Amino acid sequence: MQPRETRETGIRLTSDHGTPRKTSTREETLQLATEIARAADSKKAEDVVILDISRTLGVADFFVICTARSRKQVAVVAEACELAARRLGTRGRPLEGEETGWVVADFVDVVLHVFEEEARRFYDLEHLWADSPRIEWAPPPGVAAAPGASKPE
């Protein structure tokens, strides 16, 4: 996991390369999570969920969780999410787990989980973090969401 600024102390931690990291506000972090969810949706990921884990976990603010139908789609979705984060100026640690059907991407304040269907059912992160609020999100205007996406009503 990459070092990050702690909101409680205001101490600025450094990246793995020793350079100071940009400080993110809660709004910027939520925007990052939303853009990652939208990127996953754009590659036809299903049941895209954003969980606010900031009060329960402490190592990140949000989980973005989604399902892909094949290992190839898992990789495509994860890469699209990584590109979306880069467009917002955020670099994550290298993607891990492409060969397992569960990719985890650490963007410091946002952690992405892209699962194949069976792995998502087995690990059931939404049940594990059931006390964490779900964040409503929507694709950009004019774009239909994939089935199961959390959208405002």
Calculate what percentage of the chain has a pLDDT beyond 90: 61
pLDDT at residue 97 greater than cutoff 90:
no
Q: At what angle do helices 26-42 and 71-87 cross, to 10 degrees?
A: 140
Instruction: Look at residue 39 in the predicted model and tell me its pLDDT.
Output: 97
Checking if the pLDDT of 57 tops 50, the result is yes
Q: Which CATH class is domain 26-135?
A: alpha beta
pLDDT of the residue at 150: 53
What are the domain boundaries of the chain? 26-135
**What residue type is assigned to position 12 of the chain?**
R
The reply to whether the predicted model has a pTM over 0.85 is no
> What's the rounded Cα separation, in Å, for the pair 46 and 68?
6
